[in-house]
Chain A
């Protein structure tokens, strides 16, 4: 993988990462803003995601219809994502066309219109998006788990927001959120691909440096107090299938315990694929797959650890076999966790987890889009150094650290257990 890159700050505080990769005539550009559902209070939940939608509705220079066609006509693909801590916009284009993406991003950093009619039209689109999510049992279960795990911290709601807020938020709420957080000193621009660095930097300065820095709004984030006992929730809904999910409070990405927990996740449920694009690996030799699926208690098991600014959740999601009860599965999961708490895992199991992570990194580095993604993404919760030293640091994790992570984070007192129970026999007619 190409390792050299350029990191610099513009005079308005915007951070810029550039990485030349000349393997294909492609450039991928990503603008990241440090704003996500973490920055939302009750009443405006879902506002960051809605602002992201409005960023596709046009500026005086690039009206909605022009914007979209301009990128597509050049064969580019573009999209945007809103997450807990961040919102990002990317374009991957034929190299000679990237200027359009840079102009567009500089423009919509300040000039989006938020036309009231467009806001109303998008309200129903987003409500429809939420309704689509609500059709999925695992969305509904996840939403309940998050709300139960976070009583105080703003990680307590889903990124799409609560329905009541989607119905009541107004254009001025959205515009205020946009103007206060879409400022260059709250943004990171990452560009990777087939360009010459000095030339690219000159162009970026020309487009982005005239945008004045904004007042850095102080985010009042309320830390979640330690959980003092296991919390359990039951959710009922249509279908024939029982889902079980464990959510354990986990360390933030920059804490020392994050990597031991990453290895622990790999041992328990298989390696998580941190790349934005591309498929991961199977998990059929993981401890929980063997215990639950091979043990004929569950149909599938998956784990998920997120890299976040503040402590979030490590989740284990299980589809229960129709002939089994969730309590039986819970007992088996606890037994596997206890094994890890009682004795450190063998060193060769750790070595395997590291090899799997190396392979996933190698696969991810094949895509220019993914390489560009990582420069900005890692800055959102830690720094690009976090990414470049990730594999070396992962290899340093000891069996004892993994054991301690199991003892610390996988205690029942630190988790929420959620069950989705099917009712009504899933009437289909």
Chain B
């Protein structure tokens, strides 16, 4: 009854309104204009991450990334942030497992500021020792806070159980002893050996002409050449658990326990991904946490939050259920979640349940593209997972194509109720 502009399909990014250019040094630039906004967002990643950390220096990639904005050959720390904050702009860079991601935002007239700073921190960081030590104290304090966070500790424990012989068992931010073991020279060396333009992606979205955005990225980063940049380390397969393993971390003085249970799931590029994502929606996402939310929160009243999630990144990230409960209710909550996983892996989901989630996936897509950040994230995923520029235009068909049989078969490939990693952290 309320009229609306009939441009849903046209508002989704596609090959006709995304500019994609590969620079001579390998950097891929994606740009899309949005003159409804006054700002510009940049986003991207480099092919370097925690997978390159030595065992005794875990957290090195993340520490290195955090140091980049502490000083460059042209500006010291205060000058970098003075330039940004005076313009009401922001820029950040963080080490992940597979890649190091960056993101920034400014008013449209300050795009050059973002790009010049990005170029300086990537190409000319100086790792000033005063700032390295200050940052080390901040990182160690962050790890001390992590050790007291029931959600973080459950997650850390879960990764150790499910990825026992796999690099995913390590946290990206390392451990106190490994952060302490990293020297200033290690940081300089890590940057020199691993940073480079090959495999790098830069996305620009906002109030700027797309060809001009590409031209500016090229101006600042096009001459970056690193002839001996290593390729990303390959990932070994995950050894699945042979039985359910439960591990509890006790943290004195806490009021609530956090539970994470599940297994390794499909990578984003796996043919199983769509069926797993839609199945996961039924299991623990749709509405207020799908079947798990319904059983644990709505019916049993055990938890403020109870849901499942599917990581679906470069590799076999977790497919897991989580809940935060009164410590006295931990066993009951685990049991309820186990029952839902058992049902999910033995019976087909209902056609209505699947179609609800399919409608949700399709309907929410334009909403996730409301802001420049949303669009930038969407474009980055196109490149990260090699989905093709028209992916979002085909997305409804891909979602609709999944059947209840595929959901069951996929669930059975990844989740086994008697072979789960179960991590609990609480008092």
A300 at the interface (CB under 8 A from B): yes
B13 to chain A, nearest CB (A): 12
Within 8 A of A (CB), among B106-150: 106-107, 134, 137-138, 140-142, 144-145, 147-150
Q: Is B363 an interface residue (CB 8 A)?
A: yes
B249:A352 contact, CB within 8 angstroms: no
Q: Let me know if B232 is at the binding interface, CB within 8 A.
A: no
Are A195 and B3 touching (Cβ within 8 A)?
Answer: yes
Complex interface: chain B residues within 8 A of A362 (CB): 37-39, 107
Query: Once the chains bind, are A131 and B1 in contact (CB under 8 Å)?
Result: no
Is B277 close to A, CB under 8 A? no
Cβ of A68 under 8 Å from chain B: yes
Q: Which of B2, B105, B153, B298 contacts A196 (CB 8 A)?
A: B2
| Pair A194/B363 contact, Cβ less than 8 Å | no
Q: Which residues of B contact A25 (CB under 8 A)?
A: 4-8, 11, 366
Given A73-B356, A77-B364: A121 touches B324 (CB 8 Å cut-off):
no
B371 and A95 contact, CB distance less than 8 A: no
Q: Most chain-B Cβ atoms within 10 A of its Cβ — which of A64, A127, A300, A363?
A: A363
**CB distance A128 to B302 under 8 Å?**
yes
| Residues of chain B within 8 A of A22, CB atoms compared | 5
What are the residues of chain A within 8 A of B84 when measuring CB–CB? 281-282
Contact A284 B4 (CB under 8 A): no
A241 touches B145 (CB 8 A): yes
What's the Cα separation between A88 and B358 when bound, in Å?
Answer: 28
A95 touches B5 (CB 8 A): yes
Bound-state CA distance A141–B203 (Å) is 41
List A contacts of B153 (CB < 8 A): 428
Whether A99 sits at the interface, judged by CB under 8 Å, is: yes
A406 CB, min distance to chain B CBs, angstroms: 21
Chain B residues in 8 Å Cβ range of A99 = 1-2
A268-296 vs B, CB cutoff 8 Å, 1 = contact: the mask equals 00110000001111111100001001101
- Point out the residues of chain B lying under 8 angstroms from A125, CB to CB: 297, 301-304
Contact partners of B38 in chain A: CB under 8 A: 1, 362, 365-366
Determine the chain B residues whose CB is within 8 A of the CB of A366 once the complex forms.
36-39, 370-372
Question: Which of A22-80 touch B at CB < 8 Å?
Answer: 22-27, 56, 64-65, 68-69, 72-77
Q: Is the CB of B252 within 8 A of A238?
A: yes
Which A residues from 181 to 219 make CB contacts under 8 A with B?
A: 194-196, 199-200, 203
B77 interface contact, C-beta 8 A: yes
- A278 touching B371 by the CB < 8 A rule? yes
> Which residue from A290, A322, A359, A424 sits with its C-beta under 8 Å from B87?
A359
B1-52 residues at the A interface, CB under 8 angstroms: 1-8, 11, 36-39
Question: Chain A CB within 10 Å — which of B36, B134, B250, B372 has the most?
Answer: B36
Q: Which of B134, B144, B299 contacts A426 (CB 8 A)?
A: B144
Q: Beyond A64-B298, A237-B253, A426-B144, is A194–B4 a contact (Cβ under 8 Å)?
A: yes
The reply to whether the CB of B81 lies closer than 8 angstroms to some CB of chain A is yes
For A325, what are the chain B residues with a Cβ–Cβ distance below 8 Å? none
Smallest CB separation, B396 vs chain A (Å): 11
Complex CA gap A132/B249 in Å reads 16
Contact B302 A124 (CB under 8 A): yes
The complex places the Cα of A200 from the Cα of B4 at a distance, in Å, of 11
Roughly how many angstroms separate A63 CA and B251 CA in the complex, as a whole number? 40
Interface string of A144-181 (1 = CB under 8 A from B): 00000000000000000000000000000000000000
Q: How far is the CA of A369 from the CA of B371 in the complex (A)?
A: 10
Q: Is B360 an interface residue (CB 8 A)?
A: yes
Q: Verify B362–A75 contact, CB threshold 8 A.
A: yes
Instruction: Encode B226-253 as 1/0 by CB contact (under 8 A) with A.
Output: 0000000000000000000000011111
Q: Is the CB of A426 within 8 A of B370?
A: no
| Contact of A231 with B by CB under 8 A | no
The answer to whether B360 and A73 touch across the interface, beta carbons within 8 angstroms, is yes
Assembly CA distance A64 to B88 (angstroms)? 44
Residues of A contacting B223 in the complex (Cβ-Cβ under 8 angstroms): none
The answer to whether B88 and A360 touch across the interface, beta carbons within 8 angstroms, is yes
For A365, list chain B residues within 8 Å (CB): 37-38
Are B249 and A429 within 8 A (Cβ)?
yes
How many residues from A make CB contacts under 8 Å with B?
A: 92
Point out the residues of chain B lying under 8 angstroms from A199, CB to CB: 1-3
Q: Which residue of A lies closest to B363 (CB)?
A: A75
CB neighbours of B288 from chain A (8 A): 56, 68
Nearest Cβ on chain A to B300's Cβ, whole angstroms? 8
CA distance A79 to B303 in the complex (A): 18
| Alpha-carbon separation in the docked complex, A194 to B7 (Å) | 11
With A24-B370, A127-B326, A322-B141 as contacts: A238 and B251 at CB distance below 8 Å = yes
Q: Does A126 count as interface, using CB distance less than 8 angstroms? A: yes
**Which among A74, A203, A283, A356 is the interface contact of B359 at CB below 8 angstroms?**
A74
Residue A342 at the chain B interface, CB threshold 8 Å: no
Within 8 A of B (CB), among A331-365: 352, 355-360, 362-363, 365
Is B363's CB under 8 angstroms from A239's CB? no
Instruction: Give complex CA distance A352, B298 in Å.
Output: 49
Give the distance to chain B from A155, nearest Cβ to Cβ, in Å.
24
CB-CB < 8 A to A296: which residues of B?
A: 134, 137
Give the contacting residue for B356; candidates A24, A69, A238; CB below 8 A: A69
B253 touches A68 (CB 8 A): no
A230 contacts partner chain B, Cβ-Cβ < 8 Å:
no
With most chain B CB atoms within 10 A of its CB, the pick from A72, A95, A322 is A72
On whether A76 and B326 interact (CB within 8 A), knowing A282-B85, A299-B141, the answer reads: no
How many Å from the CB of A122 to the closest CB on chain B? 7
Question: Whose C-beta in chain A lies nearest to the C-beta of B286?
Answer: A72
Say how far A308's CB is from chain B's closest CB, in angstroms. Answer: 25
Interface string of B266-296 (1 = CB under 8 A from A): 0000000000000000000011100000100
Residues from chain A with Cβ under 8 Å of B253 in the complex: 237-238, 424
- Report whether A194 and B371 are in contact in the complex, using a CB–CB cutoff of 8 Å: no
Query: Which B residues touch A238, using CB under 8 A?
Result: 148, 251-254
5 new A-B pairs (CB below 8 Å) besides A25-B11, A99-B1?
A72-B360, A129-B304, A285-B86, A299-B142, A368-B370
Between A and B, 14 residue pairs with Cβ closer than 8 Å are A22-B5, A69-B286, A72-B287, A73-B363, A128-B256, A137-B148, A195-B4, A240-B148, A281-B84, A299-B142, A359-B39, A359-B106, A360-B88, A426-B251
Binding site for A on B (CB under 8 A): 1-8, 11, 36-39, 77-78, 81-82, 84-90, 92, 105-107, 134, 137-138, 140-142, 144-145, 147-150, 153, 249-256, 286-288, 294, 297-305, 324-326, 356, 359-367, 369-373
Enumerate the 7 nearest inter-chain pairs by beta-carbon distance, A residue then B residue, closest first. Answer: A75-B363, A359-B88, A238-B253, A95-B4, A121-B301, A129-B304, A131-B256
